[in-house]
Amino acid sequence: MGFLSGKKALITGVASERSIATGITEAFAREGAELAFTYQGDKLKSRVEELAHAHGSELVLPLDVTRDNEIEAVFGSLKDVWGGIDIVIHSIGFAPRELLQGGYLESVTREGYALAHDISAYSFAALGKAARPLMQGRDASLLTLTYLGAVRAVPMYNVMGPAKASLEANVRFMAAELGAEGIRVNGISAGPIKTLAAAGIKGFRGMLGAAEKMSALRRNVTIEEVGNTAAFLSSDLASGITGEILYVDAGYNIMG
Ligand code: 0WD
């Protein structure tokens, strides 16, 4: 029996077989969680359905996190089918591509800044708000994915830096508020991994190369490693951990 057996988990952010959310799905399925998925846009529907079916799940729902009615519909469906929910995985981030090249002040715009923060940071609070009533009395967990650019001025990460800083502050504020209800809130700060979102960052190869050369383990991390950590953090094995940002970066952030 896996350490997530009996847990009902919603996984967002599957966009391809390389997505971090795909690595999380594999680990969750192996550990016995019951899964539901969301997809953004019709183009991704069949891909996410395929992954869901491979893990015995029929619960695949559309979700663009900029739309309140879609967030409401997702949790409405989960309430109908499951009654409640134990785990939400927020693996969503976005900034307009033009803002992820050149200098920060050179590229940033009011609209781009607002959109990056809406999709990458506010959406975690929005999912937390909607999930909260379904998580009562269940030792539940909310988990998001962040990056070192939240706390360091990583070149080219630009507007995503402030957006991830906001996301990490959300982890702390949400953890403080939801703790009394037995709901834990954490973030995983992953090292660079080649995914669709990462391909949008100019100079991403350089980030991968630097991590490989400079991390304590002298290599990059995999979606399987992030998936295993997500499974642990979302499980009752991590019952004493909340409000935390856990680095899964092969020890890059500790190096001088
Ligand atoms: O190096 C990396 N890949 C790292 C990623 C290092 C550290 C953290 N992360 C974070 C990302 O910032 C993001 O928060 O992990 C999370 C997942 O990213 P990923 O797995 O690297 O990227 P990807 O496979 O592209 O999935 C992110 C997905 C989107 O994919 P696309 O490529 O279509 O933009 O986020 C989803 C979408 O599926 N997404 C949305 N979902 C709902 N509503 C929205 C939206 N408005 N916008 C993007």
Assess: ipTM above 0.95.
yes
pLDDT at 251: 98
Report yes or no on 185 lying in a domain: yes
Report yes or no on 120 lying in a domain: yes
CATH number of the structural domain spanning residue 60:
3.40.50.720
Span 122-161, pLDDT tens digits? 999 999 999 999 999 999 999 999 999 999 999 999 999 9
Based on the structure, what is the number of domains in the chain?
Answer: 1
Query: Which residue pairs from 114-119 have beta carbons closer than 8 angstroms and sit at least 24 positions apart in sequence?
Result: 116/159, 116/160, 116/162, 116/163, 117/162, 117/163, 117/166, 118/65, 118/66, 119/65, 119/66, 119/92, 119/93, 119/94
The residue to mutate among 16, 17, 18, 20, having the most atoms of ligand 1 within 8 angstroms of its beta carbon, is 20
Q: Write the residue with the smallest CA distance to atom 22 of ligand 1.
A: 197
Is residue 113 annotated as part of the catalytic site, yes or no? Answer: no
Task: Tokens for 226, please give them.
Answer: 């992030």
Report yes or no on 3 lying in a domain: no
Report yes or no on 218 lying in a domain: yes
Q: Which residues line ligand 1 at a C-beta cut-off of 6 Å? A: 13, 15-16, 19-21, 40, 63-66, 91-94, 119, 145-147, 190, 192-193, 195-198
pLDDT at 201: 84
**Cα–Cα distance between 245 and 201 in angstroms, integer?**
23
Query: Given 3-state DSSP classes, what are the helix, strand and coil percentages for the chain, each rounded to the nearest 5?
Result: 50, 15, 35
